[in-house]
A = this chain, B = another copy of it.
Amino acid sequence: MDITSILRDNGLKVTPQRLAVYNLLASTKDHPSAEAIYNKLYPLYPTMSLATVYKTLEVLVKSGLVQQLNVGENSFRYDANVSSHSHITCIKCHRVDDIEDNLFAGMDTKISHSTSYSIINHQLYFFGICPHCKQPEQ
């Protein structure tokens, strides 16, 4: 199902701003922050405001079209990939990459047994040095 139908099904209007934010997120593996999204869209939509980006992201998150990530910076990052998957951050260049979730199969069940919680989901963040930053400086 496409974003237009999903928005309409949720009683939400389809606006150029909403499409622009979603399409930007869907076309990158970058995990940008609200501000980064705004900076990328501003040249194309010079009337768009940062407040609109925030309001749009809230709508997209609530509609299940986008997920909000918290990689321990002071701002959130956003991801149009809403499937359960984890992230790894480079402590040098701060890029954020995806990790396939099948590496964590069965983990929720294991945790559930050892904690007596009912596990609903998880957010797993790994920190390290990416292949690019491992190369010697020149």
Contacts and interface: CB of A to CB of B under 8 A. Distances in A.
Contact of A126 (B122, B126, B131): B122
Interface in A9-68: none
Given A88-B117, A90-B117, A108 B126 contact: yes
Interface in A69-115: 70, 72, 88, 90-91, 97, 99-100, 103, 107-108, 110-112, 114-115
A89 B118 CA distance: 11
B122 A127 contact: yes
A13 B121 CA distance: 43
A125 B124 contact: yes
A111 to B, nearest CB: 5
Given A72-B70, A111-B99, A128 B124 contact: no
A3 interface: no
Contacts of A130: 116-117
23 contacts: A70-B70, A90-B117, A99-B111, A100-B114, A103-B107, A103-B111, A111-B126, A112-B128, A115-B128, A117-B131, A118-B129, A118-B134, A119-B126, A119-B127, A119-B128, A120-B129, A121-B126, A121-B127, A122-B125, A122-B126, A122-B127, A123-B125, A125-B125
Interface of A: 70, 72, 88, 90-91, 97, 99-100, 103, 107-108, 110-112, 114-131, 134
